[in-house]
Structure 1
Amino acid sequence: MTQTVTPTEQKPRNRTREKLFDWKLLIGVVAVGLLLVVSLFTGVYDIFNGDFGLEMFAITRIPRTIALVLAGAAMAMCGLVMQLLTQNRFVEPTTTGTTEWAGLGLLLMLILVPNASLMTKMVAAIIASFVGTMIFFLFLRRVQLTSSLIVPIVGIMIGAVVGSVSTYLALVTNKLQNLGVWFAGSFTSVLRGQYEALWIVAFVAVAVFIAADRFTVAGLGEDIATNVGLNYNQVILLGTGLIAVATGVVTVVVGNLPFLGLIVPNVVSMIRGDDLRSNLPWVCLLGIAIVTVCDLIGRTIIMPFEVPVSLILGVVGAVVFIALLLRSRRNA
């Protein structure tokens, strides 16, 4: 039996397709592509006149640029999902303690199994970040907070406690320098053969896009989600798992990228609204663009030395965070 589709039934589908893929998105892709080309040809070593220019280009520049794409998109995407599930615009992995928990898992692995492989360290970081994020979500469900501004403060406090425990353990076990290197948030050490694990976050992005509608409904609250037949707890568990995987992988390979998941989703939602599926490509693009620009600044500002990208992101993110707080108070 064939089913005829009326023009009125086709119209919403066409609108959705135009909203997802339009000429503005194409311009954004081209602009980010140009930034990545600049990243490929920016550095101290002269790849055109050097003796091993082609080798250096393949070993360092290409892996670094790919890492910028994957890490930037992953952390921006994590912020978007986390803000949707918590119904709070001020949360992201670095304001909920998720990154600090990932660092604690990584440190425990360095202490207990010093010769562990990169994948083993990554698994430990993912498990720890999952546990920490679940603790944060459970806290939000059991404690009634009178203001949305309290939520990131609670997350930052939890992260500070976890970070203090990590610092103490690192000091006692003489791993403080290792901890500092891991949390530097820099792409300097990204080389061929050491960044490939970041491709895992590409699969996470695909999973988020597939489950986007469920996350959007869950973001309306537990009562509404349950009334429309959605398993709310299952969606929260899925979202937490995806956030933990992406945060754990990025933390192990690159380090801490503060406030990226806070800046990007808020900027995109102010312009385009709160639909996760249609915003996801823009969030990934803007996350890549911000990380790339900050990395280019870090590479050139005191050349031939480099400033960690986390330092520049921290300054920019702190300013945006304060601006969002002030904007929220004015709208209250």
Structure 2
Amino acid sequence: MLKINERKNTTAWKVFILIIFGVLLVISFFVSNSFGTMKLTNKDIIKAIFVDETGAKRQVIWNIRLPRTIVACLVGMNLALSGTILQGVMGNPLADPQIIGISSGAGLAGILILVVFPEAIHLMAPAAFLGAIGASALIYALAWKNGIKPTRIILAGVAVSALLGAGITTLMVFYSDRVHGAIMFMAGGLSARSWPHVKIILPYTIVGMTAAFVMADKLDILLLGDDVARGLGLNVERTRLILTAIAALLAASAVCVAGLLGFVGLIIPHISRIIIGTNHKYLFPASALLGGGVLMLCDTFARTIFSPVEIPVGVVMAALGAPFFLYLLRKVD
């Protein structure tokens, strides 16, 4: 165990793990594009993307599989990075966007657009972000008592998540004639995702990931404890607010294209932390790479295991994530 911990502290080890996760991402990309009703080889995929301009394989890859694969990758990256930030900010490995209520805020706003204002579907992304920010503000207001403590944020987040979940259920009851789309949204899925969805999520991914990497050093300082961080000149409360806003942006962008997809932000950061350590300069890219790769593989499994029937990828993630959550629960003091 000592040798493993010593190895995790070396830069060479961290770079090696990032390369491994990058290779996994590339493999997942080709697996996602290979499997389906039409089986394609890696050569077919490359030709369809870069060489061919016509033909059935080009149409399948370019119009169906490639945009869905990219969306899966970006959603996995965003949720994993959001979970990594929240676990760092709150000092709790059980924190993730869905558990503490940020995804529920984005989800309530998304459901509101879907079932009440379907003609304003183009406003889904900003509405989801505002919902996530609103949920974050409510969580902070409820948790504030002479400052913010991570435990209080977790408890307030669970309460807010339950409240917003009740709001989602209420909307579904009042608009039962439009409930099908809402049910798929709540389950979390990537069916029929195409290039417009890529255009929706990509700008938020770029902005959110850039901001997260800029704040990585400050999050490391925050992990030293509030008193030590203040002694080093860090504005603790402002840093927490900025990091939470970044996590909300990443989670909201994922929710608006994939629905309420759970557990990605819980299990991916924890696995990455075990392997690569707690230095967020390396943990952030590791979580993003692993999150994108895992979600592409899970989505491939979800759409092919019972072909031609497709199950939401959220069901697969729940099957993987629930046991892992129970494992974490038993490990936390």
Q: Please give the TM-score of this superposition, normalised by the length of structure 2.
A: 0.84
- Say if 1:147 and 1:106 are closer, same or farther in 2 by CA, change over 3 A: closer
Match of residue 191 from structure 2: 188
Match of residue 165 from structure 1: 167
Give the conservation status (yes or no) of the 8 Å contact 1:204–1:246: yes
Given candidates 26, 32, 36, the residue that maps to 2:19 is: 26
Match of residue 6 from structure 2: none
Give the conservation status (yes or no) of the 8 Å contact 2:139–2:153: no
Give the conservation status (yes or no) of the 8 Å contact 1:91–1:151: no
Match of residue 259 from structure 1: 263
Give the conservation status (yes or no) of the 8 Å contact 1:198–1:253: yes
Letter in 2 for 1:300: T
In 2, the alpha carbon distance for the partners of 1:184 and 1:213 equals 35
Given candidates 35, 48, 56, the residue that maps to 1:42 is: 35
Match of residue 107 from structure 1: 111
2:218 maps to 1:225: no
2:325 maps to 1:325: no
Match of residue 98 from structure 2: 94
SS, match of residue 193 in structure 1: helix
In 2, the alpha carbon distance for the partners of 1:224 and 1:135 equals 27
Name whichever of 107-116 and 72-81 sits farther off: 107-116
Q: Please give the TM-score of this superposition, normalised by the length of structure 1.
A: 0.85
Give the conservation status (yes or no) of the 8 Å contact 1:167–1:176: no
Give the conservation status (yes or no) of the 8 Å contact 2:187–2:312: yes
5+ residue gaps, structure 1: 1-14
5+ residue gaps, structure 2: 1-8, 45-53
Q: How many residues matched? A: 311
In 2, the alpha carbon distance for the partners of 1:105 and 1:114 equals 12
2:200 maps to 1:197: yes
Give the conservation status (yes or no) of the 8 Å contact 1:76–1:287: yes
Give the conservation status (yes or no) of the 8 Å contact 2:84–2:265: yes
Counting helix residues as a fraction of each chain, which structure ranks higher? 2
2:284 maps to 1:280: yes
- Say if 1:197 and 1:52 are closer, same or farther in 2 by CA, change over 3 A: same
Given candidates 123, 126, 138, the residue that maps to 2:126 is: 123
In 2, the alpha carbon distance for the partners of 1:306 and 1:110 equals 22
SS, match of residue 93 in structure 2: coil
User: Alpha-carbon deviation of 1:45?
Assistant: 4.0
- Say if 1:151 and 1:324 are closer, same or farther in 2 by CA, change over 3 A: farther
Cα deviation code 1:39-76 (max 9, x no counterpart): 1111124567x963312210111111111211111100
Give the conservation status (yes or no) of the 8 Å contact 1:99–1:247: yes
Cα deviation code 1:154-177 (max 9, x no counterpart): 533431221111111232134433
In 1, the alpha carbon distance for the partners of 2:265 and 2:173 equals 30
User: Alpha-carbon deviation of 1:143?
Assistant: 9.2
User: Alpha-carbon deviation of 1:147?
Assistant: 10
Cα deviation code 1:100-132 (max 9, x no counterpart): 1111112333466431142x2211110111111
SS, match of residue 120 in structure 2: coil
Name whichever of 232-241 and 139-148 sits farther off: 139-148
User: Alpha-carbon deviation of 1:318?
Assistant: 0.8
User: Alpha-carbon deviation of 1:77?
Assistant: 0.4
Match of residue 142 from structure 1: 145
In 2, the alpha carbon distance for the partners of 1:147 and 1:17 equals 30
In 1, the alpha carbon distance for the partners of 2:216 and 2:287 equals 13
Match of residue 303 from structure 2: 299
In 1, the alpha carbon distance for the partners of 2:276 and 2:243 equals 22
SS, match of residue 187 in structure 2: coil
User: Alpha-carbon deviation of 1:259?
Assistant: 1.1
**1:9-24 counterparts in 2 under 5 A?**
18=12, 22-24=15-17
**1:37-76 counterparts in 2 under 5 A?**
37-45=30-38, 52-76=56-80
Match of residue 5 from structure 2: none
In 2, the alpha carbon distance for the partners of 1:251 and 1:88 equals 22
SS, match of residue 197 in structure 2: coil
User: Alpha-carbon deviation of 1:16?
Assistant: 7.8
In 1, the alpha carbon distance for the partners of 2:84 and 2:31 equals 27
